[in-house]
Structure 1
Amino acid sequence: MHAHAGFETRHDARDVLGTHRHGGAYAALVIDGSHVEASPDGPIACEPGTLVLHPRWHAHGNRFGRLGATVANLDLADAAAPDTLRVLRVPDARQARAVFTDAPQRLGELIAACTPVRAPELHAWQAEFLRELELGELDVATLARRAGVSAAHASRVFAVSHGMPPQLLRRELRCRRALRLLADGLALADIAALAGFADQAHLSRTLRAATGATPSRLRGQIKCVQDAPPRPALQ
């Protein structure tokens, strides 16, 4: 299933990786040290034994702790890619590391033995703020006022917890919604309206900037994944 073994990266103490995205899906296992991953999914505290499964085009940033971190990484085939971010706890970090380095074909077994990590806790006002960012049209200042915080405070909080201020977070959430809708075979103009874009041209520009591909090409890639034989890697 995986033609190549994983590789390890070492990150210095207090290192910061700004928001970025990977074109392909991949698994990341924390070997030592710690870091916080911030994305539209919220902050994830990653420590030794944390296994994060990233879907394609997942935008996130990383803030490393006082000891830095060593992370094992493994690219996932499209057909084995998760639809959404998954955060798991491995039963044995040493054995999990061996899967990444020596037996990537056993990743499915490793995942099946893991336990899910609870979703991060957010400030009480953030959940509704996020829903409105994705689905509503109110400006950020109005959303902040409704939440009982200042626009500047909302921007600072989301930049820390989600890796980007509300305006960029709105764009990212709508991109995700559009990518999900592409799989349903809807017309691009309908997808643009349902995902909150001004029109089809706006949708196309934004998705191309985020993923490097046009909506039509993305739809073809998604269809290829859907038509591929099922893989056991992420059961």
Structure 2
Amino acid sequence: MHAHTGFETRHDACDVLRTHRHAGAYAALVIDGNHVEASADGPVECRPGTLVLHPRWHAHGNRFGRLGAKVANLDLDDGLAGDALRVLHVHDAKEALAVFARAPHRLRELIAACSPAPTPTLQPWQHAFLRELDDGGHDIAALARLAGVSLAHASRTFVKSHGMPPQLLRRELRCRRALRLLAAGMPLADIASASGFADQAHLTRVLRAATGAPPSRLRRQIKSVQDAGRTAAVQ
């Protein structure tokens, strides 16, 4: 495993970071204070001892509490981060911080000793809404009607819980699916169709806007990471 030296970030009380995207995979360990991280994965309550493993290209926003927060961060290789957000709780915060600060080579050991954090709490209607948003072709207004809520209420609720309104959330879910399929080696036209994009050109525009790179370059990056992982596994 390759990991870089960690660094700390400090955030003021009641600070808000709008939804932003990190190009690389990284781990975040909450040292002091608290905040809520909102993304397509739902709201994550981050308190001292919370360890969040972010995959490459993860987009999220943060709302900090009245005490602000201090967070230790550590860049990760993609093999350890995986392709989905993982939220854990460390059993010894002091030891975990020492790993981040002085022994990043022990991060895999630290992760293995963690316990899973509670899953995000959503309103009951949001679960069906999210399934249809990810898999179905209904427009957002129709999904709100099916859920028994107004379009305005659906938008406010998802902005609070996921950091983005339903339309942007749908685009983010489609981007995630496309990135997974890029790793599987599917033709770009097939990926566009399977991910809910109008065509290959639409896929290219959205992924370029989301990640800064077109699908062809993203595929090469993914393949490079996969090859490096296989090489490390053999050594």
TM (norm. structure 1) is: 0.96
User: For residues 27 and 4 of structure 1, what CA distance do their matches in structure 2 show?
Assistant: 11
Q: Deviations over 1:145-199 (max 9, x none)?
A: 1100000000000000000000000000000000011112111111000000000
Displacement of 1:229? 3.3
Q: Which residue in the other structure is 2:129 paired with? A: 129
Q: Which residue in the other structure is 1:198 paired with? A: 198
User: For residues 9 and 2 of structure 2, what CA distance do their matches in structure 1 show?
Assistant: 19
User: For residues 33 and 206 of structure 1, what CA distance do their matches in structure 2 show?
Assistant: 35
Q: Which residue in the other structure is 1:81 paired with? A: 81
Q: Which residue in the other structure is 2:45 paired with? A: 45
What does 1:1-235 correspond to in 2, within 5 Å?
1-2=1-2, 4-229=4-229
Q: Is the 8 A contact 2:80 2:108 kept in 1?
A: no
Displacement of 1:118? 2.2
Structure 1: where are the runs of 5+ without partners? none
Q: SS at the partner of 1:197?
A: coil
Q: Deviations over 1:70-113 (max 9, x none)?
A: 00000012333321000000010011001101111110110011
Structure 1 stretches of 4+ with a deviation exceeding 6 A read: none
User: For residues 177 and 3 of structure 1, what CA distance do their matches in structure 2 show?
Assistant: 26
Q: Is the 8 A contact 1:36 1:45 kept in 2?
A: yes
User: For residues 121 and 95 of structure 1, what CA distance do their matches in structure 2 show?
Assistant: 29
The root-mean-square deviation of aligned C-alpha atoms, in Å, is 1.2
Q: Is the 8 A contact 2:27 2:76 kept in 1?
A: yes
- Percent of aligned pairs with the same residue? 75
Q: Which moved more, 1:179-188 or 1:157-166?
A: 179-188
Displacement of 1:2? 4.0
Q: SS at the partner of 1:100?
A: helix
User: For residues 113 and 205 of structure 1, what CA distance do their matches in structure 2 show?
Assistant: 41
Q: Is the 8 A contact 1:12 1:69 kept in 2?
A: yes
Structure 2: where are the runs of 5+ without partners? none
Q: SS at the partner of 1:125?
A: helix
Aligned residue pair count:
232
Q: Deviations over 1:14-38 (max 9, x none)?
A: 0000000100000000000000000
Q: SS at the partner of 2:184?
A: coil
User: For residues 41 and 33 of structure 2, what CA distance do their matches in structure 1 show?
Assistant: 22
Q: Deviations over 1:3-55 (max 9, x none)?
A: 63200011000000000010000000000000000000000000000000000
User: For residues 67 and 192 of structure 1, what CA distance do their matches in structure 2 show?
Assistant: 44
Q: Which amino acid aligns with 1:139?
A: D
Q: SS at the partner of 2:88?
A: strand
Q: Is the 8 A contact 1:79 1:228 kept in 2?
A: no
Q: Which moved more, 1:40-49 or 1:214-223?
A: 214-223
Q: Deviations over 1:101-146 (max 9, x none)?
A: 1111110110011001121121111111111112211111110011
Q: SS at the partner of 2:209?
A: helix
